[in-house]
Amino acid sequence: MADTPKITFDSVRSFFPHTDNMTYFNAASVGPFSSLVRGAITEHVDMRVAAEKDDSHIAFGTADELRKIFGKLIGARHREIGLGQNTTFGLNLAAYGLPLKPGDEVLLSDIEFPAAVYTFKAAAKARGLKIKYVKSTDRRFDVDAFEKAISKKSRVLVLSYVQFFNGYKNDLKTIGEICKKHRMFFVVDGIQGMGTEPLNVRSLGIDIFASGCQKWMLSPQGCGFFYVADELREKIIPPFMSWVGADWHLKFTDLFYYDKPYFDSARRFEMGYYAVLNIIGMRAAVRMFQDLGIANIRKHDHALIDRLAEYIRNHPYYRITCNMTAGHRSSIFTFTCKDLVDLHKELLRRRIILVRREGSIRVSVHLYNNDTDVDRLIQALEDFGRNH
Ligand SMILES: Cc1ncc(COP(=O)(O)O)c(C=O)c1O
C-alpha cells in the first residue's frame, strides 16, 4: 500500500464503485466502503481461508499503526488512543470509569443523540449520579444555558461534536473552557465530525473523545477509537478490563503471569482480542484521511454544500434548516419543504441516497461527492419544486 500513489481529490472518487450507480449523501448514517477497504479485507479473508499463518502480528501491528494515525488526526499523543468497537465504547469508559461520587451531576444536551443518553442514564443508576439536561435553543446546544445549569455538583458534560440531525457544530473551545473553569470533565461524542471537521483534542481541553468509524471515516461497522487524556488515565477505573490491556511485550508463549502491568497508555482499556477484519478494513480506510487531510476534506465538502445552499436559498419552495455560519456548519446540510415525505421518496427513486431527520432532509456531503452529484440533486429539487 505504501508505494501506491497518494490519493488526491482528482483520484479519490475512482476508489468508490458506488459512485457509478447512485448519488450517495448519507455518510452521517453509514459510510460506503472504498475499493481499498474491500481489497484489504478480501486479501485478509483469503489468507485466513488458506490458514497458513497466524495473523496476530498483523493484528497487533495494525492496531499500533491505527493508534498513531488517530493520534495525529485529532492532535493527541498515540498513547492517549485506544481502539474500541464504536462510539458507545468510549462513552461507557467515561460513564463508568470517571472518578465520580454519588450525587455528582452529569450534564447532557436535551437534543443529544441517544448513545450518550442511554449510557449515562444506566451509569447514573448504578453509581448514584444525577443526569441534568441542558435546554437547547433553536435546536442547538445553548452555551449560556449550559453555564446557567452548572451547579457545585456538576462534574461532567457529555456533548456531540456535531449534532446528528442538523449538523450543528458545537463550539468545543468555548465549551471546553467553561468545563475547565468549573472543574468539570469534558466528554465528546465525535462521530459526526470525525473525518470532516479538524480538531485538536488537547487544545480543546477534551478529557475523553469517542468516535465510531462506520460513518464519515468510511470503515466497517464495529470500528472506532477513543482518546483518554494522559493526565486522566490513572484516574479512570472502569468495571471492565481485559487481558490485552496488560503489557505482555507480545510474548504469548508463557501466559501464567498474573502480575503484568496494564499498558501505560489508553490501550489498557481495550476489550479483548481485535475484530481483525474490521481493523484491517479501517487501516485501509484511514489512508484517505491521511492523504487528503481533514481540513482539505472540509473545504471540499463545504464548497459543494455552498452550491446546494445557494440554490435552496433562492428557491421559494425550500428552506435551509441548518446553521451555515463558519463556526457552526459541518458536512451535514439540512433543508425542508412542504411535501417532505414525497420529496424524499422521489429522491430515493432517482437513486439519490439521503435520509429524513427531525422534519428535514439531511444531506451528508463527503470526499467522494462532486459537482455532478450536486447537479443531480439540484435537478431533482427543481423538477419536484416545479410541481409542488
Ligand atoms: C452523534 C452520534 N453518536 C453515536 C452514534 C452511534 O453510536 P455507536 O457508534 O456507538 O453505534 C451516532 C449514529 O449512529 C450518532 O449520530
In this structure, the residues whose C-beta lies within 6 A of any atom of ligand 1 are: 86-88, 113, 115, 160, 164, 189, 191-192, 212, 224
Q: Are residues 17 and 81 in the same domain?
A: no
Q: Are residues 86 and 216 in the same domain?
A: yes
- Taking the C-alpha atoms of residue 218 and residue 285, their distance in angstroms, rounded to an integer, is 6
Range of lowest pLDDT (49-53, 75-79, 292-296) = 49-53
Q: Which atom of ligand 1 is nearest to the CA of 115?
A: 4
Sorting pLDDT into bands at 50, 70 and 90, what band is 1? Answer: low
Q: Which atom of ligand 1 is nearest to the CA of 211?
A: 9
Containing structural domain, residue 206: 50-291
Q: Which atom of ligand 1 is nearest to the CA of 160?
A: 1
pLDDT of residue 355: 98
Q: Are residues 306 and 250 in the same domain?
A: no
User: Is 4 contained in some domain?
Assistant: no
Range of lowest pLDDT (11-15, 16-20, 48-52, 368-372) = 48-52
- 345 Cα to the center of ligand 1, angstroms: 25
SS3 210: strand
For residues 120-156, b (16+ Cβ closer than 10 Å) or e, as one string?
A: bbebbeebebebbebebeebbbbeeebeebbeeebbb
| Residue ending a domain, choose from 291, 324, 346 | 291
User: Is 174 contained in some domain?
Assistant: yes
Burial class (CB in 10 A: 0-12, 13-18, 19+), 169: buried
Contact 334, 360 (CB under 8 A): yes
Q: What is the largest CA-CA distance in the chain?
A: 74
- Taking the C-alpha atoms of residue 289 and residue 274, their distance in angstroms, rounded to an integer, is 22
Query: Is the pLDDT confidence value at 295 over 70?
Result: yes
pLDDT of residue 219: 98
| Residue ending a domain, choose from 265, 291, 317 | 291
User: Is 317 contained in some domain?
Assistant: yes
- 324 Cα to the center of ligand 1, angstroms: 23
Across 282-291, average pLDDT: 98
- 152 Cα to the center of ligand 1, angstroms: 30
User: Is 39 contained in some domain?
Assistant: no
Q: What is the pTM of this model?
A: 0.97
pLDDT of residue 285: 98
- Taking the C-alpha atoms of residue 241 and residue 238, their distance in angstroms, rounded to an integer, is 7
pLDDT of residue 357: 96
pLDDT of residue 288: 98
Residue located nearest, by CA, to atom 7 of ligand 1: 87
Residue located nearest, by CA, to atom 4 of ligand 1: 115
- 274 Cα to the center of ligand 1, angstroms: 20
pLDDT of residue 250: 75
User: Is 320 contained in some domain?
Assistant: yes
pLDDT in tens, 185-199: 999 999 999 999 999
Pocket probe for ligand 1: among 89, 108, 109, 113, the residue whose CB has the most ligand atoms within 8 Å is 113
Q: What is the number of structural domains in the chain? A: 2
Sorting pLDDT into bands at 50, 70 and 90, what band is 3? Answer: low
User: Is 2 contained in some domain?
Assistant: no
Q: Are residues 58 and 203 in the same domain?
A: yes
User: Is 40 contained in some domain?
Assistant: no
Q: Are residues 262 and 211 in the same domain?
A: yes
Across 50-66, average pLDDT: 94
Q: Indicate which CATH number applies to the domain containing 60.
A: 3.40.640.10
Cell of residue 180, nine digits: 475547565
Across 149-167, average pLDDT: 98
Query: Is the pLDDT confidence value at 179 over 90?
Result: yes
Q: Which atom of ligand 1 is nearest to the CA of 162?
A: 1
pLDDT in tens, 299-357: 999 999 999 999 999 999 999 999 999 999 999 999 999 999 999 999 999 999 999 99
Pocket probe for ligand 1: among 172, 189, 218, 226, the residue whose CB has the most ligand atoms within 8 Å is 189
pLDDT in tens, 218-269: 999 999 999 999 999 999 999 999 999 999 887 888 889 899 999 999 999 9
| Residue ending a domain, choose from 256, 291, 326 | 291
Q: Which atom of ligand 1 is nearest to the CA of 224?
A: 9
